[in-house]
Amino acid sequence: MDDRVFTKPIEKQFEFDAEVAAVFDDMLQRSVPFYKESQKITEFFVLKKLQQGGVMYDLGCSTASLLLNIHRKLEVDASLVGLDNSEAMLEQAKRKCEAYGANIEVKFADILEYEYDKADVFVSNYTLQFIRPLVREELVKKISASLKEEGVFLFSEKVISHHCKLNKELIECYYEFKKEQGYSEYEIMQKREALENVLVPYSEEENIKMAFNCGFSHCEVVFRWANFATFIAIK
């Protein structure tokens, strides 16, 4: 289904409700530059790091697309667990997993409070940016503590620049991308307003510093387009 969520006047802040869940896969493809490419890099590292009998967590798994792609390519017996706090997203995820006969566990959960088993890999795609800055680092510390030695945390985030003019130009570049995907100026402005104070991005440097502060030995960007970046943090 095509994303038409912001063709009408907004009445509330952005949330992952049934209306968004129904069009979320289309929204991702048209709203995140080179989304497929960044996900392929994430899949590559997940498949490299996930061991026999191991565990992978996808935090904010939405409709489970990444988990399904990994499940198709997985050559070891490992547990794939998706967590989300949107019932609407999980309904879509469960429907897709059942349709493909995929042994993937998707759960309704608060990722800040969830009790994690020791894992080989954690993934979060554009999830941290929706976690309040006051508790974001606590979540990353919890992820680090729950990883096995040399385990990895792969996360994609919208990023900002602290160079004011450059940051404005990066946003302009992104809006041009969205127009090329068929979004109108009105839809772009509506979504920006709905996300105000809901999505709070860090800079590339701030994300890397956070990873080091939380116990990771290494962190760097493995993919970036303008103000979108995919990071790998190694325990």
- Average pLDDT for runs of 10 along the chain of length 235: 54 57 70 93 98 97 95 97 94 92 96 98 96 96 97 98 97 93 82 80 98 98 98 98
Q: Which domains does the chain have, with CATH numbers?
A: 5-234 (3.40.50.150)
Q: How confident is the model at residue 198, as a pLDDT?
A: 80
Contact 158, 195 (CB under 8 A): no
Q: How confident is the model at residue 141, as a pLDDT?
A: 98
Q: How confident is the model at residue 145, as a pLDDT?
A: 98
Contact 225, 34 (CB under 8 A): yes
Rounded CA-CA distance 111/71 in Å is 22
Q: How confident is the model at residue 3, as a pLDDT?
A: 46
Amino acid at 7: T
CB burial of residue 141 (10 Å; 0-12, 13-18, 19+)? middle
What pTM, to 2 d.p., does this model score?
0.90
